[in-house]
Structure 1
Protein backbone atom coordinates (compact mmCIF):
# COMPACT_ATOMS: atom_id res chain seq x y z
CA UNK A 1 0.00 0.00 0.00
CA UNK A 2 1.58 3.31 -1.06
CA UNK A 3 1.87 6.10 1.51
CA UNK A 4 -0.03 9.35 1.12
CA UNK A 5 1.66 12.62 0.22
CA UNK A 6 3.07 13.38 3.67
CA UNK A 7 6.65 12.01 3.80
CA UNK A 8 6.45 11.68 7.59
CA UNK A 9 3.85 12.45 10.22
CA UNK A 10 3.92 12.28 13.98
CA UNK A 11 1.16 10.31 15.71
CA UNK A 12 -0.44 13.60 16.80
CA UNK A 13 -0.40 14.94 13.22
CA UNK A 14 -1.89 11.70 11.93
CA UNK A 15 -4.71 11.72 14.51
CA UNK A 16 -5.51 15.39 13.92
CA UNK A 17 -5.77 14.81 10.16
CA UNK A 18 -7.56 11.47 10.49
CA UNK A 19 -10.29 12.88 12.71
CA UNK A 20 -11.14 15.41 9.98
CA UNK A 21 -10.67 13.11 6.96
CA UNK A 22 -13.49 11.71 4.86
CA UNK A 23 -11.47 8.56 4.07
CA UNK A 24 -9.73 6.28 6.57
CA UNK A 25 -5.95 5.79 6.71
CA UNK A 26 -3.54 3.61 8.67
CA UNK A 27 -0.44 4.91 10.39
CA UNK A 28 2.75 2.84 10.56
CA UNK A 29 6.24 4.05 11.46
CA UNK A 30 5.53 7.68 10.62
CA UNK A 31 3.82 6.95 7.31
CA UNK A 32 0.13 7.36 6.49
CA UNK A 33 -1.50 4.82 4.17
CA UNK A 34 -4.85 5.26 2.45
CA UNK A 35 -7.27 2.38 2.91
CA UNK A 36 -9.10 0.97 -0.10
CA UNK A 37 -12.86 0.66 -0.28
CA UNK A 38 -14.51 -2.71 0.38
CA UNK A 39 -16.26 -5.05 -2.05
CA UNK A 40 -19.83 -6.32 -1.69
CA UNK A 41 -18.60 -9.76 -0.58
CA UNK A 42 -16.26 -8.21 2.00
CA UNK A 43 -19.09 -6.11 3.40
CA UNK A 44 -21.51 -9.05 3.55
CA UNK A 45 -19.01 -11.13 5.52
CA UNK A 46 -18.29 -8.28 7.95
CA UNK A 47 -21.99 -7.53 8.51
CA UNK A 48 -22.81 -11.23 8.93
CA UNK A 49 -19.99 -11.64 11.46
CA UNK A 50 -20.89 -8.54 13.50
CA UNK A 51 -24.60 -9.47 13.44
CA UNK A 52 -23.86 -12.94 14.83
CA UNK A 53 -21.54 -11.55 17.50
CA UNK A 54 -23.96 -8.81 18.52
CA UNK A 55 -26.79 -11.31 18.89
CA UNK A 56 -24.70 -13.58 21.10
CA UNK A 57 -23.23 -10.72 23.15
CA UNK A 58 -26.60 -9.10 23.91
CA UNK A 59 -27.17 -8.69 27.64
CA UNK A 60 -23.50 -9.12 28.47
CA UNK A 61 -20.86 -6.46 29.10
CA UNK A 62 -19.03 -7.44 25.90
CA UNK A 63 -18.86 -5.20 22.83
CA UNK A 64 -18.31 -5.70 19.10
CA UNK A 65 -17.22 -3.02 16.63
CA UNK A 66 -17.05 -3.03 12.84
CA UNK A 67 -14.75 -1.18 10.44
CA UNK A 68 -14.68 2.29 11.97
CA UNK A 69 -13.15 1.66 15.40
CA UNK A 70 -9.49 2.59 15.22
CA UNK A 71 -7.02 0.43 17.18
CA UNK A 72 -3.62 1.55 18.38
CA UNK A 73 -0.86 -0.96 19.02
CA UNK A 74 0.92 0.98 21.75
CA UNK A 75 4.16 -1.03 21.60
CA UNK A 76 4.68 -0.39 17.86
CA UNK A 77 2.77 2.88 17.37
CA UNK A 78 0.56 1.45 14.61
CA UNK A 79 -2.96 2.81 14.13
CA UNK A 80 -5.34 0.67 12.06
CA UNK A 81 -8.99 -0.21 11.48
CA UNK A 82 -9.70 -3.94 11.86
CA UNK A 83 -12.79 -5.28 10.10
CA UNK A 84 -14.29 -6.58 13.37
CA UNK A 85 -13.24 -6.17 17.01
CA UNK A 86 -14.56 -7.86 20.12
CA UNK A 87 -13.86 -7.41 23.82
CA UNK A 88 -15.44 -8.41 27.12
CA UNK A 89 -13.51 -6.17 29.47
CA UNK A 90 -13.73 -2.45 30.09
CA UNK A 91 -12.62 -0.72 26.88
CA UNK A 92 -9.57 1.53 27.19
CA UNK A 93 -9.18 4.45 24.80
CA UNK A 94 -6.19 6.59 23.90
CA UNK A 95 -7.84 9.89 24.83
CA UNK A 96 -11.10 11.68 25.52
CA UNK A 97 -12.19 11.36 21.86
CA UNK A 98 -13.03 7.69 22.57
CA UNK A 99 -12.21 6.72 18.98
CA UNK A 100 -8.95 4.77 19.38
CA UNK A 101 -9.21 1.47 21.24
CA UNK A 102 -6.13 0.17 23.07
CA UNK A 103 -7.28 -3.24 24.35
CA UNK A 104 -9.08 -5.43 21.79
CA UNK A 105 -9.48 -9.06 22.84
CA UNK A 106 -10.43 -10.43 19.41
CA UNK A 107 -9.56 -9.01 15.99
CA UNK A 108 -11.14 -10.32 12.79
CA UNK A 109 -9.90 -9.42 9.31
CA UNK A 110 -11.60 -10.39 6.05
CA UNK A 111 -8.91 -11.31 3.54
CA UNK A 112 -8.65 -10.06 -0.02
CA UNK A 113 -5.99 -10.55 -2.70
CA UNK A 114 -4.57 -7.07 -2.05
CA UNK A 115 -4.38 -7.44 1.76
CA UNK A 116 -3.93 -11.15 2.53
CA UNK A 117 -0.13 -11.16 2.68
CA UNK A 118 -0.11 -8.03 4.85
CA UNK A 119 -2.89 -9.31 7.17
CA UNK A 120 -1.07 -12.62 7.69
CA UNK A 121 2.39 -11.07 7.98
CA UNK A 122 3.33 -7.55 9.04
CA UNK A 123 -0.09 -6.61 10.40
CA UNK A 124 -0.30 -9.76 12.51
CA UNK A 125 3.23 -9.03 13.79
CA UNK A 126 1.94 -5.68 15.07
CA UNK A 127 -1.24 -7.23 16.50
CA UNK A 128 0.76 -9.84 18.43
CA UNK A 129 2.25 -6.95 20.47
CA UNK A 130 -1.21 -6.19 21.90
CA UNK A 131 -1.14 -7.73 25.36
CA UNK A 132 -4.95 -7.79 25.42
CA UNK A 133 -5.29 -9.76 22.15
CA UNK A 134 -6.27 -13.39 22.66
CA UNK A 135 -7.62 -14.37 19.23
CA UNK A 136 -6.87 -13.32 15.66
CA UNK A 137 -9.27 -14.53 13.00
CA UNK A 138 -8.83 -14.37 9.23
CA UNK A 139 -11.89 -14.97 7.04
CA UNK A 140 -11.38 -15.78 3.36
CA UNK A 141 -13.76 -14.26 0.85
CA UNK A 142 -12.95 -16.46 -2.14
CA UNK A 143 -13.56 -19.82 -0.39
CA UNK A 144 -15.34 -20.85 2.81
CA UNK A 145 -12.45 -20.91 5.25
CA UNK A 146 -11.53 -19.28 8.55
CA UNK A 147 -8.03 -19.33 10.02
CA UNK A 148 -8.15 -18.94 13.78
CA UNK A 149 -5.08 -18.00 15.82
CA UNK A 150 -5.44 -18.52 19.57
CA UNK A 151 -2.84 -17.20 22.00
CA UNK A 152 -1.41 -19.81 24.34
CA UNK A 153 1.17 -17.99 26.46
CA UNK A 154 3.79 -16.75 23.99
CA UNK A 155 2.61 -19.13 21.25
CA UNK A 156 -0.13 -18.65 18.68
CA UNK A 157 -1.97 -21.87 17.78
CA UNK A 158 -3.58 -22.04 14.32
CA UNK A 159 -6.73 -24.00 13.53
CA UNK A 160 -8.71 -23.98 10.31
CA UNK A 161 -12.48 -24.08 10.00
CA UNK A 162 -13.62 -25.05 6.50
CA UNK A 163 -16.16 -27.87 6.61
CA UNK A 164 -19.61 -26.66 5.42
CA UNK A 165 -21.39 -27.46 8.71
CA UNK A 166 -18.49 -26.45 10.98
CA UNK A 167 -18.34 -23.58 13.45
CA UNK A 168 -15.67 -21.42 15.01
CA UNK A 169 -15.65 -21.11 18.79
CA UNK A 170 -14.35 -17.72 19.94
CA UNK A 171 -13.52 -18.65 23.50
CA UNK A 172 -12.56 -15.11 24.60
CA UNK A 173 -16.08 -13.91 23.81
CA UNK A 174 -17.91 -17.18 24.55
CA UNK A 175 -19.39 -17.02 21.04
CA UNK A 176 -19.76 -19.52 18.22
CA UNK A 177 -19.79 -18.52 14.54
CA UNK A 178 -21.14 -21.07 12.07
CA UNK A 179 -19.57 -20.99 8.63
CA UNK A 180 -23.02 -21.00 7.05
CA UNK A 181 -23.93 -17.80 8.93
CA UNK A 182 -20.67 -16.01 8.10
CA UNK A 183 -21.11 -16.76 4.40
CA UNK A 184 -24.87 -16.15 4.26
CA UNK A 185 -25.80 -14.59 0.87
CA UNK A 186 -22.15 -14.78 -0.26
CA UNK A 187 -21.96 -16.31 -3.73
CA UNK A 188 -18.44 -17.63 -3.96
CA UNK A 189 -18.73 -18.20 -7.71
CA UNK A 190 -19.23 -14.42 -8.02
CA UNK A 191 -15.85 -13.80 -6.45
CA UNK A 192 -13.97 -14.49 -9.68
CA UNK A 193 -12.65 -10.97 -10.06
CA UNK A 194 -10.39 -9.60 -7.34
CA UNK A 195 -12.29 -7.63 -4.69
CA UNK A 196 -11.27 -4.07 -3.90
CA UNK A 197 -11.06 -4.48 -0.13
Structure 2
Protein backbone atom coordinates (compact mmCIF):
# COMPACT_ATOMS: atom_id res chain seq x y z
CA UNK A 1 0.00 0.00 0.00
CA UNK A 2 1.26 3.52 -0.65
CA UNK A 3 2.59 5.65 2.21
CA UNK A 4 -0.09 6.92 4.57
CA UNK A 5 -0.41 10.65 5.13
CA UNK A 6 -0.04 11.66 8.79
CA UNK A 7 -3.44 13.34 9.21
CA UNK A 8 -6.88 12.59 10.59
CA UNK A 9 -9.71 10.99 8.69
CA UNK A 10 -11.25 12.90 5.79
CA UNK A 11 -14.62 12.83 4.15
CA UNK A 12 -14.94 11.89 0.49
CA UNK A 13 -15.71 15.54 -0.35
CA UNK A 14 -12.58 16.74 1.50
CA UNK A 15 -10.46 14.10 -0.24
CA UNK A 16 -11.73 14.98 -3.71
CA UNK A 17 -11.24 18.71 -3.07
CA UNK A 18 -7.67 18.11 -1.87
CA UNK A 19 -6.90 15.70 -4.71
CA UNK A 20 -8.23 17.97 -7.41
CA UNK A 21 -6.08 20.83 -6.07
CA UNK A 22 -2.94 18.67 -5.81
CA UNK A 23 -0.74 19.23 -8.84
CA UNK A 24 2.27 17.08 -8.06
CA UNK A 25 1.21 14.20 -5.79
CA UNK A 26 -1.61 11.72 -6.27
CA UNK A 27 -3.34 10.16 -3.27
CA UNK A 28 -5.42 7.05 -2.88
CA UNK A 29 -8.31 7.09 -0.42
CA UNK A 30 -9.51 4.24 1.78
CA UNK A 31 -12.28 4.72 4.34
CA UNK A 32 -11.27 8.23 5.35
CA UNK A 33 -7.52 7.66 5.19
CA UNK A 34 -5.29 9.25 2.56
CA UNK A 35 -2.23 7.51 1.07
CA UNK A 36 0.35 9.36 -1.03
CA UNK A 37 1.45 7.56 -4.18
CA UNK A 38 5.18 7.05 -4.45
CA UNK A 39 7.16 7.66 -7.64
CA UNK A 40 7.67 4.87 -10.15
CA UNK A 41 10.98 3.32 -11.22
CA UNK A 42 12.32 3.54 -14.77
CA UNK A 43 11.38 -0.12 -15.33
CA UNK A 44 7.85 0.57 -14.13
CA UNK A 45 7.57 3.58 -16.46
CA UNK A 46 9.00 1.69 -19.46
CA UNK A 47 6.57 -1.21 -18.99
CA UNK A 48 3.65 1.19 -18.57
CA UNK A 49 4.52 3.04 -21.79
CA UNK A 50 4.94 -0.25 -23.67
CA UNK A 51 1.59 -1.66 -22.52
CA UNK A 52 -0.33 1.58 -23.06
CA UNK A 53 1.20 2.04 -26.53
CA UNK A 54 0.43 -1.51 -27.63
CA UNK A 55 -3.10 -1.38 -26.24
CA UNK A 56 -3.81 1.98 -27.89
CA UNK A 57 -2.79 0.55 -31.26
CA UNK A 58 -4.84 -2.63 -30.80
CA UNK A 59 -7.95 -0.84 -29.51
CA UNK A 60 -8.27 1.71 -32.33
CA UNK A 61 -10.92 -0.31 -34.16
CA UNK A 62 -12.71 -1.55 -31.03
CA UNK A 63 -15.32 0.07 -28.78
CA UNK A 64 -12.85 0.13 -25.87
CA UNK A 65 -10.19 2.61 -24.77
CA UNK A 66 -7.76 3.19 -21.93
CA UNK A 67 -6.34 5.62 -19.42
CA UNK A 68 -2.83 5.39 -18.05
CA UNK A 69 -1.55 6.46 -14.62
CA UNK A 70 -3.61 9.50 -13.73
CA UNK A 71 -7.20 8.30 -13.97
CA UNK A 72 -8.72 7.85 -10.55
CA UNK A 73 -11.13 4.89 -10.18
CA UNK A 74 -13.89 4.73 -7.60
CA UNK A 75 -13.48 1.33 -5.97
CA UNK A 76 -16.09 1.60 -3.23
CA UNK A 77 -18.28 3.97 -1.24
CA UNK A 78 -15.27 5.65 0.37
CA UNK A 79 -12.46 4.16 -1.72
CA UNK A 80 -10.50 5.59 -4.65
CA UNK A 81 -7.34 4.34 -6.36
CA UNK A 82 -5.09 5.05 -9.34
CA UNK A 83 -4.46 1.92 -11.42
CA UNK A 84 -1.40 1.95 -13.66
CA UNK A 85 -3.63 1.27 -16.68
CA UNK A 86 -7.41 1.01 -16.83
CA UNK A 87 -9.52 -0.04 -19.83
CA UNK A 88 -13.20 0.63 -20.34
CA UNK A 89 -15.66 -0.21 -23.12
CA UNK A 90 -18.42 1.94 -24.55
CA UNK A 91 -18.61 5.42 -23.07
CA UNK A 92 -16.44 6.23 -20.09
CA UNK A 93 -18.63 6.80 -17.05
CA UNK A 94 -17.57 9.23 -14.34
CA UNK A 95 -18.59 9.92 -10.76
CA UNK A 96 -19.43 13.58 -11.44
CA UNK A 97 -19.03 16.38 -13.96
CA UNK A 98 -15.32 16.80 -13.18
CA UNK A 99 -14.70 13.71 -15.40
CA UNK A 100 -11.69 12.61 -13.33
CA UNK A 101 -13.06 9.54 -11.50
CA UNK A 102 -13.91 6.55 -13.71
CA UNK A 103 -16.68 4.25 -12.50
CA UNK A 104 -16.87 1.61 -15.26
CA UNK A 105 -13.45 -0.06 -15.61
CA UNK A 106 -13.41 -3.38 -17.47
CA UNK A 107 -9.70 -4.29 -17.22
CA UNK A 108 -7.31 -3.04 -14.55
CA UNK A 109 -3.55 -3.46 -14.91
CA UNK A 110 -1.12 -2.93 -12.04
CA UNK A 111 2.66 -3.03 -12.44
CA UNK A 112 4.08 -4.60 -9.30
CA UNK A 113 6.70 -2.92 -7.15
CA UNK A 114 8.32 -4.03 -3.90
CA UNK A 115 6.37 -1.45 -1.90
CA UNK A 116 2.91 -2.22 -3.36
CA UNK A 117 2.99 -5.88 -4.42
CA UNK A 118 1.31 -7.33 -1.32
CA UNK A 119 -1.43 -4.66 -1.43
CA UNK A 120 -1.95 -5.10 -5.20
CA UNK A 121 -2.33 -8.86 -4.80
CA UNK A 122 -4.53 -8.68 -1.70
CA UNK A 123 -6.68 -5.80 -0.51
CA UNK A 124 -6.55 -3.86 -3.78
CA UNK A 125 -7.67 -6.90 -5.77
CA UNK A 126 -10.48 -7.37 -3.25
CA UNK A 127 -11.66 -3.82 -3.98
CA UNK A 128 -11.41 -4.20 -7.75
CA UNK A 129 -13.26 -7.50 -7.93
CA UNK A 130 -16.24 -5.99 -6.09
CA UNK A 131 -16.77 -3.64 -9.03
CA UNK A 132 -19.38 -5.28 -11.27
CA UNK A 133 -17.84 -3.90 -14.49
CA UNK A 134 -14.35 -5.35 -13.87
CA UNK A 135 -13.78 -8.48 -15.96
CA UNK A 136 -9.99 -8.83 -15.72
CA UNK A 137 -7.25 -7.88 -13.27
CA UNK A 138 -3.69 -8.12 -14.55
CA UNK A 139 -0.49 -7.95 -12.50
CA UNK A 140 2.80 -7.25 -14.32
CA UNK A 141 6.25 -7.90 -12.86
CA UNK A 142 8.90 -5.30 -13.45
CA UNK A 143 11.68 -7.71 -12.48
CA UNK A 144 11.22 -10.51 -15.03
CA UNK A 145 9.00 -11.75 -17.85
CA UNK A 146 5.94 -12.60 -15.75
CA UNK A 147 2.27 -11.62 -15.77
CA UNK A 148 -0.55 -12.85 -13.54
CA UNK A 149 -4.12 -12.58 -14.84
CA UNK A 150 -7.41 -12.94 -13.00
CA UNK A 151 -10.55 -13.32 -15.14
CA UNK A 152 -14.15 -13.13 -13.91
CA UNK A 153 -16.19 -16.03 -15.25
CA UNK A 154 -19.93 -15.96 -16.08
CA UNK A 155 -20.56 -17.63 -12.71
CA UNK A 156 -18.85 -14.74 -10.91
CA UNK A 157 -15.89 -16.91 -9.94
CA UNK A 158 -12.38 -15.70 -10.73
CA UNK A 159 -9.85 -17.88 -12.54
CA UNK A 160 -6.11 -17.31 -12.54
CA UNK A 161 -3.45 -17.84 -15.18
CA UNK A 162 0.16 -16.73 -15.46
CA UNK A 163 2.46 -16.01 -18.38
CA UNK A 164 6.21 -16.47 -18.08
CA UNK A 165 8.87 -15.99 -20.71
CA UNK A 166 9.42 -13.71 -23.66
CA UNK A 167 7.60 -16.01 -26.11
CA UNK A 168 4.26 -15.87 -24.22
CA UNK A 169 1.24 -13.83 -25.36
CA UNK A 170 -1.16 -12.24 -22.88
CA UNK A 171 -4.76 -12.65 -24.02
CA UNK A 172 -7.11 -9.93 -22.73
CA UNK A 173 -10.36 -11.54 -23.83
CA UNK A 174 -12.78 -8.95 -22.44
CA UNK A 175 -11.46 -6.33 -24.89
CA UNK A 176 -10.31 -8.73 -27.63
CA UNK A 177 -6.58 -8.00 -27.46
CA UNK A 178 -3.41 -10.02 -27.40
CA UNK A 179 -0.11 -8.56 -26.16
CA UNK A 180 3.15 -10.44 -26.66
CA UNK A 181 5.35 -10.28 -23.57
CA UNK A 182 8.19 -9.36 -25.94
CA UNK A 183 6.32 -6.07 -26.61
CA UNK A 184 5.37 -5.48 -22.98
CA UNK A 185 9.03 -5.80 -21.98
CA UNK A 186 10.48 -4.12 -25.09
CA UNK A 187 13.64 -2.03 -24.56
CA UNK A 188 14.26 -3.16 -21.02
CA UNK A 189 17.90 -2.65 -20.15
CA UNK A 190 20.30 -5.59 -20.07
CA UNK A 191 20.52 -7.24 -16.68
CA UNK A 192 17.05 -6.15 -15.53
CA UNK A 193 15.91 -9.70 -14.80
CA UNK A 194 16.74 -11.12 -11.39
Normalised by the length of structure 2, the TM-score is 0.94
SS in 1 for 2:130: coil
2:61 pairs, out of 49, 59, 62, with: 59
Find the aligned partners of 2:131 and 2:190 in 1 and give their Cα distance. Answer: 33
Structural mapping, 1:131-150, within 5 Å: 131-150=132-151
Structure 1 residue 90 displacement after superposition = 1.9
- 2:112 corresponds in structure 1 to 111
Q: Which runs of 5+ in 1 are unaligned?
A: 193-197
**How far off is 1:188 after superposition?**
6.1
> Is the Cα–Cα contact under 8 Å of residues 143 and 188 in structure 1 kept in the other structure?
no
CA contact (8 A) 1:167 1:178 kept: yes
**What SS is found at the alignment partner of 1:142?**
coil
Residue-by-residue CA offset, 1:146-185 (whole Å, 9 max, x unaligned): 0010001221100011132110110111010100000001
Number of matched pairs? 191
CA contact (8 A) 1:70 1:99 kept: yes
- In the aligned structure 1, how far is the partner of 2:160 from the partner of 2:62? 28
Which stretches of structure 1, 4 residues or more, deviate above 6 A after TM superposition? none
Structure 2 stretches lacking a partner, 5+ long: none
Match of 1:28 among 24, 27, 30: 30
RMSD of Structure 2 on Structure 1 (CA): 1.3
Specify whether residues 137 and 188 from structure 1 end up closer, same or farther in structure 2 by C-alpha distance, changes over 3 A only. farther
* Contact 1:141–1:188 under 8 Å retained in 2: no
Residue in 2 aligned with 1:37? 39
Give the secondary-structure state (helix, strand or coil) at the position aligned to 2:118.
helix
Higher relative contact order (CA 8 A, sep 6+): 1
Deviation at 1:109, TM superposition (A): 0.2
Question: Within 5 A, what are the aligned runs for 1:68-83?
Answer: 68-74=70-76, 76-83=77-84
CA contact (8 A) 1:54 1:64 kept: yes
Q: What is the alpha-carbon distance in structure 2 between the residues aligned to residue 180 and residue 148 of structure 1?
A: 17
> Separation in 2 of the partners of 1:10 and 1:180?
44
